[in-house]
Structure 1
Amino acid sequence: ASLKGDRVVLETPQGRRLETRAGELEPIHRGALGSAESPRRGSVRFRGDAEDIQSEINLIGRASDDVDTEIHRFVETSIAAGQKFIRVVHGHGTGRLKAAVREALKGHPGIAKVEDAPQSQGGAGATVITLR
């Protein structure tokens, strides 16, 4: 972990990085995770409220050049919160925004699968991401 003012940058053992406010983290004490798991030295847990953690982000109307940082922040926050599936709504349009989203997600170590949403959830106008 490293500090940048009131921001903290965390790196997981898998090499994932997450930047958040220091006040959103709390130390994990032995026994807090149950008997099956034991925290590593210096472990922290994301303390955001459950309603603050979104499983979907809507990028309709955004410029394709401006979504990279927002996508990465959304994925990292979702991983830290323990999400398994998230959805990015980009709409159909010209396809540039969808392409920018897919490019931003390419090669991310925390992502297991990227695919179009089922038709009932937006079809090709949304991308469903399965997290590791």
Structure 2
Amino acid sequence: MSYLKIYIHIVFSTKNRTPHFNTLELQVKVWKHIKANAYEKGIYLDMVNGYSDHCHCLVSLGSNQNIENIVQLIKGESSYWINKNKLTKEKFSWQEEYFAVSVSESMIEQVRNYIKNQNVHHHKKTFEEEYQEFIKKYNFE
């Protein structure tokens, strides 16, 4: 048996960063669905949360999984579900781009707290500011 523990912090936004998830109730509904769908697809989604225009996921990769496929499964199915249930006023979709960074074992709890506190975090900082910080912090420039 192989033992594998590779945590990835994934962040993706709504198309054009439109703030579709403008109520806490809608955010909770979408995040719960994403978590349940991931479980059904064999994706270990440790934590999911976000804000009105983006989503954060902490995923532990399985031995037969890769980041691109996991992101496609999460984004594709959730877009379909959001549109099928008419949860947004206009047609919903996620932006094609996403961030994905590895998370060391020693930082897991810190990343969980960061994801859990998105609503508090974004009262102080916009997604654009967060986006620019990610680019600099992880040398994506």
TM-score, reference length from structure 1: 0.29
Structure whose residues are more often helix by fraction: 2
Q: Which has the higher contact order (CA 8 A, sep 6+)?
A: 2
Structure 1 or 2, whichever has the larger Rg, is 1
TM-score, reference length from structure 2: 0.27
